[in-house]
Amino acid sequence: MSAILINGQSAEHISVLDRGFQYGDGVFETLRVSAGKPCHWAQHMARLSAGCQVLRISMPEPALLLSEAMSLCAGEVAAVLKIIITRGVGKRGYVPPAQAVPTRALSLSPAVVFPQMHYRDGVSVRVCDTRLAGNPTLAGIKHLNRLEQVLARAEWPEGEGSTQVAEGLMLDNNNNVIEGTMSNLFCVQEDEGGPVLKTPLLTHCGVKGITRENIINVAEAAGISVQETTLGLVDLYRSQELFLCNTLIGIWPVRQLEDQHFAVGPMTRRLSQALESLHD
Ligand SMILES: Cc1ncc(COP(=O)(O)O)c(C=O)c1O
């Protein structure tokens, strides 16, 4: 199963003059599809809309996107839906066309199945050499420029098995840990008042994940203290628990960061369960 709708039509190609191709002038979303429906639709639309606003691209009507998404997802037990919105076709040169007509591309791919041991025992994580540049304007949104992630992900080979590195952490140029190449990061630290859930501040770089937002919400609803804060590698090494999250993986406990080992702890287990029982 694999299907693509470009501007509502079944197609596989876009114009070479499309500014998404020319400049990465656009935004995207990756959604999990379950029981014929895209999950957490409203949150994905909110981030897409925030990204379009920052780039001053006129966002297609969410109702139109939803009807196209539903037609692709119909009958799919589990799949992945990617939505790309670009500014559309333009002439040569950076100047955005005054009358740009955005391009929308929705594509469906098979569900990704990750090894069960990633969830049970946790994953091994490395620290990437590639850094994330700071840009407060673009921080948080899911724009199409992902060269830093591409370079970071190229730092280690693909592979399977328990000893393989499953994800890499990325730091900014001030040595703050920001996120994984394709995921957000949380750590659990004991304070005088009890355990605190911490996640990096994403004011200068990083993608504000939908799963990150859901985890913060379920944690706060459960009375867990949550802090979005500046975190260095030393802070991670002295944490009791570490975990990664995104739309497709859910939560992966981290059992090893470089040479240091971590237990898969109670907070990670509790939040994984709470996240799984979030229906949307
Ligand atoms: C760089 C980056 N950060 C964070 C995330 C997590 O975002 P979400 O929870 O919306 O999947 C992703 C997801 O692909 C990502 O690519």
> pLDDT band at 136, cuts 50/70/90?
very high
**188 and 247 inside one domain:** yes
Specify the pLDDT at position 96.
95
Ligand 1 contact, 199 CB (< 6 A): no
Q: How far apart are CA 113 and CA 116, in angstroms?
A: 9
Ligand 1 contact, 29 CB (< 6 A): no
Residue nearest to atom 4 of ligand 1 (CA): 183
Give the number of other CB atoms < 10 A from CB of residue 205.
24
Last residue of a domain, one of 87, 110, 133: 110
Specify the pLDDT at position 19.
98
**153 and 265 inside one domain:** yes
> pLDDT band at 22, cuts 50/70/90?
very high
**66 and 120 inside one domain:** no
CB 54 within 8 A of CB 137: yes
Percent of the chain clearing pLDDT 90 (strictly above): 94
**92 and 135 inside one domain:** no
pLDDT in tens, 64-102: 999 999 999 999 999 999 999 999 999 999 999 999 999
Reported for 89-95, long-range contacts at CB under 8 A and 24+ positions apart, including other chains, are 89/15, 89/17, 89/18, 89/19, 90/17, 90/18, 90/19, 90/22, 91/17, 94/23
Residue nearest to atom 16 of ligand 1 (CA): 182
Specify the pLDDT at position 158.
85
Ligand 1 contact, 246 CB (< 6 A): yes
Specify the pLDDT at position 225.
97
Ligand 1 pocket, mutate which of 29, 246, 248 (most atoms under 8 A from CB):
246
Residue nearest to atom 14 of ligand 1 (CA): 182
**172 and 259 inside one domain:** yes
Section 11-22 average pLDDT? 96
Specify the pLDDT at position 210.
98
Domain region containing 197: 116-276
Q: Is the pLDDT of residue 40 over 70?
A: yes
Could you identify the atom of ligand 1 that is nearest to the CA of residue 184? 4
Specify the pLDDT at position 160.
65
**85 and 138 inside one domain:** no
Section 133-140 average pLDDT? 98
Q: How far apart are CA 262 and CA 38, in angstroms?
A: 34
**125 and 102 inside one domain:** no
Section 44-56 average pLDDT? 98
Q: Is the pLDDT of residue 260 over 60?
A: yes
Q: How far apart are CA 266 and CA 68, in angstroms?
A: 41
Q: Is the pLDDT of residue 1 over 80?
A: no
> pLDDT band at 159, cuts 50/70/90?
confident
Could you identify the atom of ligand 1 that is nearest to the CA of residue 170? 1
Specify the pLDDT at position 161.
65
pLDDT in tens, 233-246: 999 999 999 999 99
**In total, how many domains does the chain have?**
2
Specify the pLDDT at position 192.
86
CATH code, domain with 47: 3.30.470.10
Specify the pLDDT at position 10.
96
Last residue of a domain, one of 75, 110, 145: 110
**pTM value?**
0.96
